[in-house]
Amino acid sequence: MQRSFVLVSTSITTGGNINATGTLQATGATTLYGALTVSGTGATALGGTLAVTGNTSLAQASSTNQTLSGNLWVNGNATTTGSNGNFATQGTLNVAGAAWASSTLQVTGETQLYSRLVMDNPGPTFSGASSRQTVQADANFSSFTGGYGAGVMGNALGTLASGNSIIGGLIGKYDISDGTDSDHPQAAVVGEIGENSAGTSDGAFIAVIGGDSGAVTSPAAFTVRNLNSTNGNGFSYGLDLFSTTIDTYLALRLANADIRLNFGDTIDNTAASSTTLSGDLTLTGDGTVSGGTLTLTTTNAATSTLVVGCIQMYATSTETPGKLTLVSDLGTASTTGANGLYFNPVWTFGSCPA
């Protein structure tokens, strides 16, 4: 079978079709100013570069999928225009520049970031009544047997150089100007115990000393610092266990006591103007009772003991102080009961301890 070739060294202009049942070969550049239509079931192979300066639409008769065995390089925007607009990959998606998502960016597998994840400039704006978070991280546990488990975990690692650094595994800052519009909890960090975990949590906030491989110490489990230079600014209380009633919720009631101390003793504000300490109270400094009564309870079942060196009293705030002195039957003041002497209390003028 013989094959015929037509060699053309100049331009060919035709107002009709050029039909080639065999190979149509162009060794130089081919410029098309209209549409290029390839029909049939066969493949169209390119041995070189296909450069397109306009839009290109790809479609298959049996499927809308396009298969590439190599890399797809996009110097401009890659836009999905389907009804769902999904972009799916079964392998690694490497992004050297910025990745912009105007709607939901959904990742069903693990996502590893080797640099910062920044969500500001500006961050999202929330309005209306809803539950909104810039970062929402839920951790669902099923037969979890050990190790760290959390919705969010931050680790502060490495070393620090000299400087005014504020370091934390988790830092929360509250900076809202009109917070008085709400009577619900508002704070830099909020810890909430949910209704499904009744009796299973150890606390809303827990300070932990961890690690047995070396010496670990810390000045305090909970402490406070002041980074403000304006007089009058600061906290109203170091610890506040008072709460007003919110909406139709019940008033705050602590089941056992307000504070439990290291060895189990408790401090309990049982009612207004009434505070109970379950153990002994030792004062290394002065103790003052202002405008109240100091009562040592005595019952038939038990007695109370007051151990003092000197008792000093005032009739009024402007009067000369008086003190209680123990005088023996022999008329000599003494602080001991030597020789079996008995003492009578005598009020004298003067201040303790002289």
SS3 category, 340: helix
61 has pLDDT over 60: no
Cis peptide before 122, with omega less than 30 degrees from 0?
yes
| Residue (of 5, 42, 40, 52) closest to 26 by Cα position | 5
| Whether this model's pTM surpasses 0.85 | no
- DSSP letter at 329 equals T
62 has pLDDT over 70: no
Block residue for tokens 């150890």? 202
Measured distance CA(37)–CA(282) in Å, rounded: 98
Q: How many CA atoms lie within 13 A of 292 on its CB side?
A: 9
65-110 tens-digit pLDDT: 666 666 777 777 766 666 666 666 777 777 777 777 777 777 777 7
Residue 237: what pLDDT? 95
Measured distance CA(325)–CA(115) in Å, rounded: 78
207-255 tens-digit pLDDT: 999 988 889 999 999 999 999 999 999 999 999 999 989 999 999 999 9
Residue 294: what pLDDT? 77
Measured distance CA(258)–CA(241) in Å, rounded: 7
Measured distance CA(35)–CA(75) in Å, rounded: 24
Measured distance CA(97)–CA(83) in Å, rounded: 27
Partners of 277 in beta bridges:
267
CA distances from 345 to 51, 73, 333, 350, 354 (A): 115, 103, 10, 15, 16
Burial 287-304 (b: 16+ CB within 10 A, else e): eeeeeeeeeeeeeeeeee
105-162 tens-digit pLDDT: 777 777 888 888 888 777 888 888 888 888 888 999 999 998 999 999 999 999 999 9
Contact 341, 330 (CB under 8 A): yes
SS3 category, 310: coil
The more confident residue out of 9 and 295 is: 295
Q: Which two tokens stand for residue 14?
A: 């035709």
Contact 261, 267 (CB under 8 A): yes
296-345 tens-digit pLDDT: 777 777 777 777 777 777 777 677 777 777 665 555 555 555 555 556 67
Q: How many CA atoms lie within 13 A of 17 on its CB side?
A: 6
First to last CA, the chain: 139
